[in-house]
């Protein structure tokens, strides 16, 4: 009886080991993920250009299959950017917020123009209504001092921890990206990390 149990154990162990994935996980593993951190101001034209040239292509080619994680980090350079960031952060759904971010950048030359902050806020809110934000929600976010402090602290932390001095400042896996901001150059750097 003991001999039969030993044989069953040995056969089971053989099958378990033969079906285990024995390949080592290295940086070229299919499970590799590149983390992209973009420190940007919503009124920065270079940030809008980068987002337009790179983000949507990344989303289709890498993010959809889980190879790239994209993070937008608020680094407002003026009051209009701060208010746009407050309204952007009114929403709680990350996917919707990223679509809202894309729309803010696409329409930056419309809403960010001028010096009257009330007109600018109204233009931002018009875009926000397309993303299921109510006028009341957005007005509350605009006067929310805790939200404002959170965003400004994010900027301070970015200066301290990532040495951000201008926008956009981009990091790939915690290493500052300083090459061309076109998709081809950016893709080459991502592919080296995968």
Amino acid 135: pLDDT: 97
Residue 78 lies in a domain: yes
Classify residue 171: in a domain, yes or no. yes
Q: How many domains does the chain have?
A: 1
CATH of residue 158 = 3.40.30.10
Residue 39, classed as helix, strand or coil, is strand
pLDDT of residue 26: 34
15 assigned to some structural domain: no
Domain holding 152, by residue range, is 34-193
Q: What is the value of pTM for the model shown? A: 0.82
Is residue 141 in some structural domain? Answer: yes
pLDDT per residue as tens, the chain (194 positions): 455 444 443 444 333 333 333 333 333 445 689 999 999 999 999 999 999 999 989 999 999 999 999 999 999 999 999 999 999 999 889 999 999 999 999 999 999 998 999 999 999 999 999 999 999 999 999 999 999 999 999 999 999 999 999 999 999 999 999 999 999 999 999 999 99
- Of the candidates 47, 52, 59, 46, the one whose C-alpha atom is nearest the C-alpha of residue 85 is 47
Residues 41/167, Cβ–Cβ less than 8 Å: yes
Gap between the Cα atoms of 125 and 122, Å rounded: 5
Tokens (6 digits) for 69: 């994680």
pLDDT at 2: 52
Kindly state the DSSP code that residue 63 receives in the 8-state scheme.
Answer: G
Q: Hey, how many other C-beta atoms are within 10 angstroms of the C-beta on 156?
A: 11
Largest CA distance in the chain: 89
């Amino acid at each position: 009886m003991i001999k039969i149990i030993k044989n069953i154990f040995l056969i089971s162990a053989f099958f378990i080991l033969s079906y285990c994935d024995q390949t080592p996980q290295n940086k070229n593993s299919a499970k590799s993920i590149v983390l992209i951190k973009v420190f940007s101001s919503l009124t920065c034209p270079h940030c809008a250009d980068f987002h337009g040239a790179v983000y949507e292509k990344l989303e289709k080619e890498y993010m959809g299959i889980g190879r790239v994680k994209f993070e937008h980090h608020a680094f407002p350079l003026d009051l209009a950017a701060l208010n746009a960031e407050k309204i952007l952060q009114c929403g709680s759904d990350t996917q919707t917020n990223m679509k809202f971010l894309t729309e803010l950048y696409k329409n930056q030359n419309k809403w960010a123009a001028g010096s009257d902050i009330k007109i600018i806020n109204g233009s931002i809110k018009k875009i926000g209504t397309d993303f299921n934000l109510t006028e009341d929600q957005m007005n509350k976010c605009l006067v929310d001092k805790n939200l404002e402090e959170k965003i400004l602290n994010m900027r301070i932390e970015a200066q301290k921890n990532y040495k951000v001095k201008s926008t956009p400042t981009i990091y790939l896996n915690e290493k500052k990206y300083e090459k061309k901001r076109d998709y081809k150059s950016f893709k080459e750097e991502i592919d080296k990390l995968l």
